[in-house]
Amino acid sequence: MLAASAVLSAGLLAFHGAVPNTVGHLGSLLEAFLPWLGLAVPVLLSLALLRRSATALVALLLPAAVWTGHFGGLLLPVDDGAHDITAVQHNVSDENSDPEGTATALAEAEPDLIALEELIPSALPAYERTLAADYPYHAVKGTVGLWSRHPLSDVRSLDIKPAGIGEGWSRGLRSSVRVPRGEIAVYVAHLPSVRVRLSGLESDWRDESARLLGEAIAAEKVDQVILLGDLNSTVDDRGLAPVTSRMNTAERGPDFSWPAAFPVSRIDHVMARSARVTDIRTLPVTGSDHLPVVARLRF
C-alpha cells in the first residue's frame, strides 16, 4: 500500500495533465495545488520507516525525483546578477484599510513598475498621492493600475471580460513603457475568481478571461512584453495555458502569495515575453489578503 501510494503520487506529479477536466475541472484543481503533493514524500517516508518497508523506501524515490525535477529549480539560490527591470505586483484588496501604508511598503522595494488590482475610487487618491514622487507616470483603467518610473504611452483598456459578466467590469490595461533599453509593452490583468465546490472547481469565467488575455498578448506587436497580474491560479493550472504557453515564468523563488495569513499558492504573477524573469519573491504583509510579489527581469 505504501509503495502503491508513492507510485500514485509520482504519477500525479508527472502526468497531472492526464487528469480530466471534464468533470468539476478536477485537473485544474489538482494543478492549482500541485507542489503540495510533495508532502506525500515525508508522510510516506515516516510510515515506511515505521513499517521497515524496503519496497516502500525504494518506491519513494519516484515522487521525490519527480517533485525535485518539477519544482527543485525554484529552490535554487537567487541569481544576483544584472537585471534590467524590477516589477511589483499586488492585489491590494478592495477592503484594504491602509492604502497609504500599502503604497509606502511597495515603493520601499524600489521597483521600476508597480501593478495594482482591486483599486476602488475611495482609495485611489491615497495611492496616487503616496506614489507620486517616485512614480510620476501612472494609468488606471477600471480596478487595475500601473505606476512607473518611466514614461507611459498608448494606454488603453484591455478587454478580458468573459461573456455573462455585467457591464462595468474592467480588470485589464495595456501600456507602452519607454525604458532605457527601448519600448516595452506592459499588461496588467486581474482574472475572475474561482470557487472550490463539492462538485469541483468553478473556473469557466477565469478560463475564458485567460483565453482573451492570451489572444491579446499573441497579437501584441511590441516584442518585449511584461505581464503583471492576479491570475487566480498557479502556472501549472492548464486553465492559464493560453497565457503561460506564450510567456516565460519565474526561474527562482518558491514563495506563495495567497492567502496572506497562511500562503498556500502563488496566484500573483510576473511573466515576460522576450525576457527572463530571473527570480520572484514575496514582500511583507500589507492591508491586503494577498502578499505583494517583486520580480527581477532581464531582457
Which residue type occupies 204? D
Q: Do residues 176 and 200 share a domain?
A: yes
Whether 148 contacts 113, CB under 8 Å = yes
CA dihedral 117, 123, 129, 132 (to 10 degrees): 10
The per-residue pLDDT for range 138-183, each reduced to its tens digit, is 999 999 999 999 999 999 999 999 998 988 999 999 999 999 989 9
Instruction: Give the pLDDT band (50/70/90) at residue 254.
Output: confident
Provide the domain limits for residue 212.
85-298
Residue 212 has what pLDDT? 98
Q: What's the pLDDT at 235?
A: 95
Query: How many other CB atoms are there within 10 angstroms of residue 275's CB atom?
Result: 20
Task: Give yes or no: residues 100 and 123 share one domain.
Answer: yes
Tens digits of residue pLDDT in 176-187:
999 998 999 999
User: Do 256 and 212 fall into the same domain?
Assistant: yes
CA 136 to chain CA centroid, nearest Å: 26
> What does pLDDT average to over the chain?
95
Domain match, 59 and 135 both: no
Of 103, 151, 150, the C-alpha closest to 130 is: 103
Same domain, 189 and 57: no
Q: Are residues 61 and 89 in the same domain?
A: no
In order, the DSSP letters of 8-75 are: HHHHHHH-GGGS--TTTTHHHHHHHTGGGGGGHHHHHHHHHHHHT-HHHHHHTHHHHHHHHHHHGGGG
Residue 80, domain member (yes or no): no
Whether 112 and 244 map to the same domain: the answer is: yes
In a shared domain, residues 245 and 144: yes
Pair (63, 175) in one structural domain:
no
**Cα(146)–Cα(139) distance, integer angstroms:** 5
Nearest of 91, 151, 149 to residue 115 by alpha carbon: 91
189 and 260 share one domain: yes
Say if 205 falls within a structural domain. Answer: yes
Assign 79 a pLDDT band (cuts: 50, 70, 90).
Answer: low
Instruction: Name the grid cell of 276.
Output: 527572463
Percent over 90 (pLDDT), the chain: 88
Q: What pLDDT is attached to residue 115?
A: 98
Q: What digits encode the pLDDT tens for the residues 190-217?
A: 999 998 887 788 999 999 999 999 999 9
Residue 38 C-alpha cell reads as 510533495
Q: Are residues 66 and 131 in the same domain?
A: no
Exposed/middle/buried for 181, CB within 10 Å: 0-12, 13-18, 19+?
A: exposed
Decide if 56 is inside a domain. yes
Find out whether 257 and 230 touch, Cβ atoms under 8 Å.
no
